Amino acid sequence: MAFVKEIKRIVLLLVLVFGLTAEAAAQPQGTGEQKPDPPPVTRQMIIIVIDGLQADSVSAGLAPNINGLGLAGIMAERVSVMPPDSPESRFYSLLCGTDLSGESSAEFHPGGTLLTGMEKKGIKTALIDGTGQFTRATEGISQKYTGPFKNDGEVVDRAVEVIRSKKPFLTVVVLSGPGKEKALTGITSRAYLESVTAADNEVGRLFKQLHIDGVYEESLLAVTGTTGKPPLVVKGKDFLTGTKLPPVCLKDLAPTLGYLYGINMPDAKGLVMWNALSTGPDRAESFMRQKRINDLSQAYADMIEEMARLENEKLMVQEEKARLSRDKQSIEDQIAQRDSKIKHLGTLIAIMKITGILGSILFIAALVVEYRILKKRYLFFT
In a domain, 9, yes or no: no
- Structural domain boundaries enclosing 306: 283-382
How many distinct helices (H) and strands (E) make up the chain? 10, 10
| One domain for residues 107 and 132 | yes
Task: Specify the pLDDT at position 34.
Answer: 58
Alpha-carbon dihedral sign for residues 371, 374, 376, 380 = negative
pLDDT tens across the length of the chain (382 residues): 554 455 555 544 444 444 444 444 444 444 455 555 556 689 999 999 999 999 999 998 899 999 999 999 999 989 998 888 888 888 988 999 988 764 444 455 555 889 999 999 999 999 999 998 887 777 778 899 988 899 999 999 999 999 999 999 999 999 999 998 888 888 889 999 999 999 999 999 999 999 999 999 999 999 999 889 999 999 999 999 999 999 999 999 999 999 999 998 888 899 999 999 999 888 899 989 998 999 888 888 878 887 888 888 888 898 888 888 888 998 988 999 998 999 899 899 999 989 989 988 989 988 888 887 877 777 655 5
Give bridge partners of residue 172 from the DSSP assignment. 47, 127
Give bridge partners of residue 219 from the DSSP assignment. 44
Q: How many residues does the chain have?
A: 382
Q: How many domains does one find in the chain?
A: 2
CB atoms within 10 A of CB 62: 18
| One domain for residues 289 and 155 | no
CATH number of the structural domain spanning residue 167:
3.40.720.10
| One domain for residues 159 and 255 | yes
Helix (H, G, I), strand (E, B) or coil at 188: coil
In a domain, 33, yes or no: no
Task: Specify the pLDDT at position 15.
Answer: 43
Last residue of a domain, one of 226, 259, 278: 278
Task: Specify the pLDDT at position 110.
Answer: 55
DSSP label at residue 127: E
Task: Specify the pLDDT at position 6.
Answer: 54
Task: Specify the pLDDT at position 25.
Answer: 45
In a domain, 231, yes or no: yes
| One domain for residues 198 and 290 | no
| One domain for residues 91 and 218 | yes
| One domain for residues 259 and 291 | no
In a domain, 244, yes or no: yes
In a domain, 188, yes or no: yes
In a domain, 270, yes or no: yes
DSSP label at residue 34: P
pTM: 0.74
| One domain for residues 132 and 216 | yes
Task: Specify the pLDDT at position 111.
Answer: 59
| One domain for residues 71 and 207 | yes
| One domain for residues 112 and 171 | yes
| One domain for residues 226 and 335 | no
For residue 330, report the phi and psi dihedrals to the nearest 5 degrees: -65, -45
